Structure 1
Amino acid sequence: MFRSSKLKTMFLAISAIILAGSLITYPKESFEASIRGLNMWWEIVFPSLLPFFIVSEMLIGFGVVKFIGVLLEPLMRPLFKVPGVGGFVWAMGMASGFPAGAKLTARMRQEGHLTQIEAERLVSFTNSSNPLFIFGAVAVGFFHDPHLGVLLALAHYLGNICVGLIMRFYGKETPVKGKDKQGKFIVGTALSALHQTRLKDKRPIGKLLGDAVNSSIQTLLMVGGFIILFSVINKLLFHLHITAILAKGFDIILSALSFPDMLSIPFISGLFEITLGSDLTSRVMDATLLQQAIITSFILGFSGFSVQAQVASIIAQTDIRFKPFFFARIVQGIFASLFAFLLWKPIYVRFYETEQPSNAIPVSFFEEGTILHSYFYRLIDWGPLITIFSLSIYVLLLFNRLRNSR
C-alpha cells in the first residue's frame, strides 16, 4: 500500500515536471492551445450552460425538482433503480450537456435525495453531449452534414440509455424509505412535496437567485480551467510525440477492424478532448464516412479526459466515487459506436445518402439558415459578451457578500 502510494507520488511529480518543461519548450504552441480552449469556453460553453445551471438551482429551491421526482418515481425506479428526481437530472443533462448531470447529481446527493449507490448510478448516464453540440459543432461545423447529426445523436442517446440500464445492476439494492404512494393521488402527493420543499428553503427569492448565479459561475469557472488545461496538454502530447506513440498501440485494433491507421491519432486526441478529436476525425480523407461516424460516436460517448476531470472535480465534494463513472464512459463509447454501425444503413443510407425522400427524418431545424443553425453561430458571436457581462455580475455579487460579512 505504501509502495503504491510512493509510486503514485513519483508519477504525479514527474508528470508535473514534464508539463512545466514542455510549457517552457513550446511556449507558442501552448499559448495557441490555451487561446483555443479559452475561445471554446467563453464563446460556447459558458453562455450555453449558464442559463441551465441557474434555472436548475432555482427549480431545486422552489421544490419543482421534488415535484417532478414524485411524478417520475414509477418510471425511474423500475428502469434505472434511481429515485424520480433522476428524471429531472437526466433531462437537464441531455438538454444542457456536460457536466450538468454531474453537478445536479452531486446537488441531489448533498440534499439527501439519493443514496451513494443511487448517485453513482445516476451520474453514470446523465452526462451527455447536448443536441446543439452534436448537430451544430460536430455534424455541421466539422462534417458539414446536418444529416449525420441524426445518426450521431441516435447512437449517443441510445448508448446513454443502455448505460443506465446496465448500471441499474451496480451496487446492492437499498430499501426505499418513505416511498410515495402510487395511484390516483400521485399528483396530490407531488404538489404537497413541492409545497413542503419550498417552505423548508427559507431564503428570499433575491437570495436564492444570487446563490444560483454564484454557484453556477463558480462551477463554470472550474469547467473553463479544465478545458484550457486539457487543450494545452493535448497539444503538448502531440508535439512530444506521445500521441503518436500511443496511437501505434491502437493501430493494431484499427487494422483488425479494417479502419485506416490515420484514424489512430484523432482517436487518441479524442480520448483527451472531444472537440479536437471529432474535428481531426472529420479531416481523415482515407476513412469512409461510416468509419468516421463510428470513431466520433466513441469519442462523444467516452467524453474525453477533459470532461471526466470536470466531473471528478464536481463529485469530489460528495462521497460519489469516480470509478463507476469512468467504467460507464467506456461502456457508452462502445455502445455508441455499435449503434452508429447498426443504424448506418436503416437511418443514414436509407434517408440521407441519396436525395432525401418524403418520409425522411426531418433535420430542418439544424440545416443552414434555420433557427438552431442561426442560434449556434449567434452564440459564437455574442457568447464573449454574455460571458463578460455574467462575470461582472458575479464579481459584484461576490463583493457585496464580502462587504456584508464584515
Structure 2
Amino acid sequence: MSVKKLGLPLMLASLAGLMLLMTVFPGAYLESALRGLAIWWDVLFPSLFPFFIISEMMLGFGIVHLFGTLLDPLMKPLFRIPGSGGFVAAMGYVSGYPIGAKLTAKLWEQNMVTRDEGERLVAFTTSSDPIFLIGAVSVGFFHNPKIAIILAAAHYGGGFLIGLLMRFHGKQRATSGGGGSPNAASATGEGEAKSSRIHRAFAAMHHARMQDGRGMGEMLRQAVESSLKLIIVVGGLVVFFSVFLELLTQAGVMKSLYLMLDHLLTAVGFPPSLSEALVGGLFEVTLGARSAGEAASSVPLPYKAAAAAFILSWGGLSVHAQIASILHATNLRYLPFMFARLIHALIAAFLVLLLWDPLMGTMMPAPAFNPLQADPGFGAAGGFADRIAYFCLLIAFMTLASALWAWLRAWWRSANHRPAK
C-alpha cells in the first residue's frame, strides 16, 4: 500500500486515539484546553492581531511597493527575492511567526513573487520576535537577560544564513520586480531609468494605491475581517496542540520519546537531561524554551542556551501547522519551509556553542533588570510600541544598506567603464 493510501487510515486512527485519551483524562484535557485558550487570548491575540491589520493596510496603501523599490539592490543579489521581500523580512523578524508567512502569501496573491521566491522568503522570515526572545526566554525562563545577546546572535544570524542558502533553491531565473506589478515600471514613463530610486519608489507606491482603488473604510473592514479569520485559525491550532501534548504526557508517550532522545543526545555529546526540552520544543516553542531554561543545574549554561536556540529556530509543530494553513491557499510548498527550519535550528545551536566564549566571555555586565517588570512580550502596550520601534530601526537600516550597495555598484561600474545591467 502506498504512503498516500496509508495517510487517511493513520490520520483516522490518530484522531480516534486522541478522542479516547480525552475520555480517559477529561480533567487534563479540559485544563490544557483552557491553558491554550488563555495563551491565545492573553498572548497571541493582542500581539499578532494589530500587526495582521497593519500589514494588510500597508499593502493596500502601496507602502510595501515603496520599500520594495528601495530594497531591490540589497535583496536581489543576496537572497534572489524582490525588494518587497525586505519589508516582509523586517515585519517578520520584529513580529514573530507567522507574520512572515502571511505577508509572503499576500505578495504571492498580488503576483509580486513567484513560487520559488515565495518559498525562499517564507523560509528565512519566519522567526521568533525579539520581545519574546528577550522578555520571555532570556528573562522569564533563564532569569538572565545577558542570554538574549547570544540567543539573538544565533537565532537571527542563523536566519540570515538560511536566507543566503535558500538563494540556491528553485530555478535560476530572474526575480520578479520589487514593486510587484509588471505595469508599475511603465507607469513612470520612459525616463524612469534615469530617475532617482526614491522617485521610482514613490511612483510605485502611487501606482499600487491607484490599482488597489479601495476606500479607507473598505480597506480597514477587509483587513480586520481577514486578520480575524487568521488569528482564529492560529488560536485553534494553539489549543489543539496544548491538548495534544498534555494527553500524550498523561498517556506516558512523552516519557518514551525522552528515553529515545536521551541516547541520541549522549551520542552527540549533549547532556541527556535536555531531552525533555527538545521533545517539548518539537511540538510547541514556549514549552520547549521554558524546559530548556529550567533544566537541571548540572547542565552547563551553553548547552541550555543551544537547546533554546534550536527550539526557537525550529518553531514547534504548532507554528508549522500555522504556516502550512497559510500556505495552503497558495502554490507555495511546505516541505522547503520544513527543511529550512530544521537546518536553521541546527545552525543556531551550533552558533551558540561557537560564539559563546567570544560573546559571553568578553561581554560587559548587563544593566540592572527586574524580571518582574519584564514584558514577556506579548501584547501589552509597551511590547507593541517596542515592536514598532524595532521595525522602524530595522527597515531604516536595510534601506540605508540597500542605498549604499546600489551606490557602490554604480561606482564600481563607472570606475571600470561597465554599462549598467
Place the TM-score, normalised by the shorter chain, in its bin. 0.7 to 0.9
Q: CA deviation at 1:287?
A: 1.1
Q: Give the Cα–Cα distance (whole angstroms) in 1 for the partners of residues 344 and 321 of structure 2.
A: 17
Aligned counterpart, 2:350: 338
CA deviation map 1:15-74 (0-9, x unaligned): 111111111111111122112211211111110112211111111000110011011111
User: Is 1:209 paired with 2:211?
Assistant: no
Q: Give the Cα–Cα distance (whole angstroms) in 2 for the partners of residues 234 and 196 of structure 1.
A: 49
Aligned counterpart, 1:91: 90
Q: Give the Cα–Cα distance (whole angstroms) in 2 for the partners of residues 378 and 318 of structure 1.
A: 29
Aligned counterpart, 2:285: 274
Moved more, 247-256 or 8-17: 247-256
Give the residue type in structure 2 aligned to 1:273: E
Give the residue type in structure 2 aligned to 1:327: F
Q: Give the Cα–Cα distance (whole angstroms) in 1 for the partners of residues 160 and 379 of structure 2.
A: 31
Aligned counterpart, 1:24: 23
User: Which structure 2 residues correspond to residues 93-172 of structure 1 after superposition, within 5 A?
Assistant: 93-172=92-171
CA deviation map 1:324-361 (0-9, x unaligned): 00000001100110111112111123216xxx2xxxxx
Q: Give the Cα–Cα distance (whole angstroms) in 2 for the partners of residues 171 and 382 of structure 1.
A: 37
Give the residue type in structure 2 aligned to 1:223: V
Q: Give the Cα–Cα distance (whole angstroms) in 1 for the partners of residues 119 and 241 of structure 2.
A: 25
Q: CA deviation at 1:257?
A: 3.2
Aligned counterpart, 1:74: 73
TM-score (norm. length: structure 2): 0.83
Cα gap change, 1:377 to 1:166, in 2 (>3 Å): closer
Aligned 8 A contact 2:315 2:341 in 1: yes
Give the residue type in structure 2 aligned to 1:299: I
Aligned 8 A contact 1:33 1:235 in 2: yes
Cα gap change, 1:91 to 1:217, in 2 (>3 Å): same
Aligned counterpart, 2:41: 42
Cα gap change, 1:61 to 1:322, in 2 (>3 Å): same
Give the residue type in structure 1 aligned to 2:145: P
Aligned counterpart, 2:308: 296
Give the residue type in structure 2 aligned to 1:241: G
User: Is 1:243 paired with 2:254?
Assistant: yes
Between the two proteins, the alignment pairs up a number of residues equal to 371
Give the residue type in structure 1 aligned to 2:234: V
Moved more, 171-180 or 323-332: 171-180
Aligned counterpart, 2:3: 4
Q: Give the Cα–Cα distance (whole angstroms) in 1 for the partners of residues 51 and 383 of structure 2.
A: 17
CA deviation map 1:271-328 (0-9, x unaligned): 0001011111222213111111011110001000000000000010000000000000
Q: CA deviation at 1:259?
A: 2.5
Unaligned runs of 5+ in 1: 357-361, 384-406
Q: CA deviation at 1:380?
A: 9.9
Aligned counterpart, 1:185: 196
Root-mean-square deviation over aligned CA pairs: 2.3
Aligned counterpart, 2:330: 318
Q: Give the Cα–Cα distance (whole angstroms) in 2 for the partners of residues 69 and 156 of structure 1.
A: 25
Q: Secondary structure at the match of 1:146?
A: coil
Aligned 8 A contact 1:41 1:227 in 2: yes
User: Is 1:329 paired with 2:341?
Assistant: yes
Q: Give the Cα–Cα distance (whole angstroms) in 1 for the partners of residues 71 and 350 of structure 2.
A: 30
Percent of aligned pairs sharing the same letter: 40
Q: Give the Cα–Cα distance (whole angstroms) in 1 for the partners of residues 30 and 228 of structure 2.
A: 24
Aligned counterpart, 2:380: 379
Cα gap change, 1:305 to 1:36, in 2 (>3 Å): same
Give the residue type in structure 2 aligned to 1:224: G
Q: CA deviation at 1:369?
A: 7.5
- Of the three residues 208, 216, 238, the one matched with 1:227 is 238
Cα gap change, 1:183 to 1:36, in 2 (>3 Å): farther
Q: CA deviation at 1:176?
A: 4.0
Q: Secondary structure at the match of 1:351?
A: coil
